[in-house]
Structure 1
Amino acid sequence: MKTIKAVDAGTLTGRPLRYFDLVMCAFVVILLLSNIVGAEKRAVIHLPWIGDWPFGAGILFFPVSYVIDDVLTEVYGYARARRAVWAAFVALLFMAVMEWTVVHLPVAEGWNGQAAYERVFGAGWRIIGASLCAFWVGDILNSFVLAKMKVATNGRWLWMRTIGSTIVGEGADSLIFYPLAFYGLPDWPVAALGMVMLSQFVLKVSWEVLLTPVTYAVVGFLKRREGIDVYDTDTDFSPFHARV
């Protein structure tokens, strides 16, 4: 088993990393599927003493992307996490263009699935734009806060920086997405919009807390197998490029 060595992020240039590409792939896939499979459906769960509690089905899996973002930043550093965020952003943008193109292609005679396609894949550009902006800002902030907290705490208290960075990142995500996507619409009064923002934020952060043991296990495994523990002590934190 490799000895874990604390290194600066800049020293990883040219060094083979065994699992980075797999973790980045998982990050992109979960984001794409969360926006396709779970984004639209409204589900409900019965809670004791509370009753029926409606929620968006995507809330079950989207927060996992923040856990993976935490893992990427903690193990491989901010620059590589930023690279993964940009890869996911481009993938989401391509998905949006592909959805729009397929939905608006002329329908062949005798095919009756157009209404279903429009229902599932016909999200308006306002929602798509809000989703892209919220994701990019939220995940970049998540990585930035975690990387800075790791240096400030000298690598101690992983739970504090994963949860703390998620509070910042998910908070920004919710504050950007819901007003951009729904503010001013007749079926989204301001009070309802605020309640949805708050409940979604609490649920997302709660997922991060519940998954903390999993985060510890994955981070420990990757650090041991890669033999590194990266600190962003001399990193370019600009969010506007994907260089490592």
Structure 2
Amino acid sequence: MSGERMVAGRDLERSAFRWFDFVMAAFVTILLLSNVIGAGKVAVITLPFVGEWPFGAGILFFPLSYVIGDVLTEVYGYARARRVIWAGTVALLFMAFMSWVVVKLPPAPSWTNQAAYEVIFGQVRRIVFASICAFWAGEFANAFVMARMKLWTGGRHLWSRTIGSTVIGQGVDSLIFYPLAFLGAEGWTMHLVVVVLFTQWVLKVGWEVLLTPLTYLIVGGLKRAEGVDVFDEGTDFTPFRARI
């Protein structure tokens, strides 16, 4: 497998990876939950000396997908991270389509919750489109920076790669999602879009910083368990392929 340095000194076939499928499943699960539960809600927190400050509710767990994305790229390499990103993109598209189908199904006469169901699951096409575009671009930016920085640092200073890739990836994600999804929408002024966008970006990067010790533990454990450490030397970094 080109571009992979085997920590254990042995070449591992893809079928030998014991934990890759579980990491991918966790990534896709968090991604779907973040889009179902928190994408469209603006919550507020009260900050000392500042007062109420709005933020997107998805910040509570969506950044975990970037942490897992960092783990995937660091342990398994850009090519496998790319495949997982495409799996997440397809899952988002399927979820959006099925949400539309289920909302449009005529409700039974005895069922009185259609209006509430539409509010929760009837996401407008604009938000769905913005979410998928932002996820796709942000995750690929995150994986690319992570892989390139690993080569530049010779595999040292993991914290610099996880934080640096998140600064870029989450920045791309937020810059695409909030203007595309909410600029000009009812209740969303330019000021609110900018405030929420900037707040989301800062909080997401802050999450990454706080979770750095956990990232070190997971990365170290997976590298030992899998016996592999991937350096993307000679890797084709195009996002438009799924083959490893």
TM over 0.5: yes
In the other structure, the counterpart of 1:199 is 199
The secondary structure found in structure 2 opposite 1:5 is: coil
In the other structure, the counterpart of 2:129 is 129
CA distance in 2, matches of 1:35, 1:225: 32
Tell me, which stretches of 5 or more residues in structure 2 are unaligned?
A: 1-5
Aligned-residue offset at 1:86:
0.4
**Alpha-carbon deviations, 1:91-144, whole Å to 9, x = none?**
010000010000011111121010111110011111100000000000011000
- In structure 2, the CA distance between the partners of 1:69 and 1:228, relative to structure 1 (3 Å rule), is same
In the other structure, the counterpart of 1:65 is 65
CA distance in 2, matches of 1:14, 1:171: 32
In the other structure, the counterpart of 2:161 is 161
In the other structure, the counterpart of 1:228 is 228
Task: Within 5 Å, give how 1:57-206 maps onto structure 2.
Answer: 57-206=57-206
- Taking structure 2 as the reference length, the TM-score comes to 0.93
In the other structure, the counterpart of 1:217 is 217
Aligned-residue offset at 1:182:
1.6
CA distance in 1, matches of 2:37, 2:111: 23
The secondary structure found in structure 2 opposite 1:123 is: coil
Matched-pair contact (CA < 8 Å) for 1:137–1:172: yes
Matched-pair contact (CA < 8 Å) for 2:54–2:196: no
Where has structure 1 moved over 4 Å in runs of 4 or more?
11-15
After alignment, is 36-45 or 222-231 more displaced? Answer: 36-45
The secondary structure found in structure 2 opposite 1:44 is: strand
In the other structure, the counterpart of 2:29 is 29
CA distance in 1, matches of 2:36, 2:124: 14
- In structure 2, the CA distance between the partners of 1:189 and 1:48, relative to structure 1 (3 Å rule), is closer
CA distance in 1, matches of 2:185, 2:38: 22
Amino acid at match of 1:215: T
Tell me, which stretches of 5 or more residues in structure 1 are unaligned?
A: none
Matched-pair contact (CA < 8 Å) for 1:42–1:54: yes
CA distance in 2, matches of 1:189, 1:44: 16
Considering only aligned residues, what root-mean-square deviation do their CA atoms show, in Å? 1.8
Matched-pair contact (CA < 8 Å) for 2:56–2:196: no
Matched-pair contact (CA < 8 Å) for 1:40–1:120: no
Q: Identity over the aligned pairs, expressed in percent?
A: 63
- In structure 2, the CA distance between the partners of 1:242 and 1:12, relative to structure 1 (3 Å rule), is farther
Matched-pair contact (CA < 8 Å) for 1:6–1:231: no
After alignment, is 189-198 or 78-87 more displaced? Answer: 189-198
Task: Within 5 Å, give how 1:12-51 maps onto structure 2.
Answer: 14=14, 16-51=16-51
The secondary structure found in structure 2 opposite 1:238 is: coil
- Taking structure 1 as the reference length, the TM-score comes to 0.93
In the other structure, the counterpart of 2:3 is none
CA distance in 2, matches of 1:15, 1:99: 34
- In structure 2, the CA distance between the partners of 1:194 and 1:44, relative to structure 1 (3 Å rule), is closer
- In structure 2, the CA distance between the partners of 1:14 and 1:225, relative to structure 1 (3 Å rule), is closer
Amino acid at match of 1:22: F
The secondary structure found in structure 2 opposite 1:43 is: strand
Matched-pair contact (CA < 8 Å) for 1:74–1:146: yes
Amino acid at match of 2:151: V
- In structure 2, the CA distance between the partners of 1:189 and 1:53, relative to structure 1 (3 Å rule), is closer
Number of equivalences: 239
Matched-pair contact (CA < 8 Å) for 2:8–2:228: yes
